[in-house]
Amino acid sequence: MALLQSKWLRMFAWILLMVTSFVFVITGTFFDSKLLWLSLSVICLFNAYLEYTVSALFISPGKRKKSIDSKKWNSHYFQHDSITTHMQINQKSEPAPLVVFIHGWRGSSASVFERAEWFVKNGWHAVIFELPGHGKSTSLYRWNAITASRHIQRHLQNLDGILDSERVTDFFFYGHSMGGYISTRLSSKKGNIPNGMSLTGVILESPLLLYSNILNEIVDHLKIPTVLRPLHLRRVFRDVTSMHPDIQIDDGLKQFDVPSWGVPLAPTLVLQSMNDTRLGRDHYDAAVKEFPKSIPFEHHLIESLSHTGARTNEEREEILLNWLKEFDSLQF
């Protein structure tokens, strides 16, 4: 039964059954009824197609980007459920604010290096977690944001074993794109912050906040017929609930969108690419609609900011600096 949990083995099993049935159509083996075996062949082909399209949703990041290569950034490796998570840290010898970075899809610590260095140059501790399957972190069998979030969550809780909480004056998340999605989840519960530290603020850059949009985008790309999409979605939930039994099918895709996915518990700044060619404006609009209901919230559309790249951006950094100056505990 464990083998049948494989995302590809189920598909190949259906293909094998389809080929077997088709052979029986030709040879008339066992039952001299071509209609019966033809019907079974069609059923097997249909299920193989569904298994393939479900598997396509749990895609891996693919080619990895290199991690930061600098003697000033120390590497640490965490283990959980046979997965190794790579983290890099640049810490000061004296008490200082801490910013925890989570990069975007197909990124690495190097993808947010310049952003992190901006904080380091201003006297902060900085940590960058590399998501599973990215940089030097090992891959997930079926990549999904829930599992990735839980790995980062677990390792955050052990962060005080590397950085003494007494040397942390403030704690901030900084998430870009997919990293913004995970940062939103992590910052929505107090228990995710290391012992002795408290969440001060959250910075989200062009964040992904509506996972249902991403799923629908992939479904459109796969050209799954509209009539089959409800059945396809049920198969998707079958895989999700096999990995995460606490997920409720009846809650549908809305549970993976804000606000159900989470709303930060601290003041939040969204720095949004005005012309976001990857995610568009829907995710930003969702934040503008939902976040102010429960937290101090500031948001900016930045024309000079692109979704990817933008390792330095003067307009972004000016807005960020002005926002950080509003915190009495910080010195700028």
In the chain, domain spans = 3-55, 74-210+257-324, 212-253
Query: Helix axis angle, 229-243 relative to 34-55, nearest 10°?
Result: 60
Per-residue pLDDT reduced to its tens digit, 185-202: 999 998 888 877 899 999
* Nearest partner of 101 among 209, 29, 186, judged by Cα: 186
Per-residue pLDDT reduced to its tens digit, 71-101: 999 999 999 999 999 999 999 999 999 999 9
Burial of 277-298, coded b for 16+ CB within 10 Å and e otherwise, reads eebeeebbebbeebbeeebebe
CATH, range 74-210+257-324: 3.40.50.1820
Structure tokens given for 153: 């969550």
Cα 299–chain centre separation: 21
Q: How far apart are the C-alpha atoms of 271 and 259, rounded to whole Å?
A: 18
The mean pLDDT value of the chain amounts to 89
Cα 6–chain centre separation: 22
Answering whether pTM is above 0.95, one says: no
Residue 57 phi, psi dihedral angles, 5° rounding = -75, -25
Amino acid making up residue 102: I
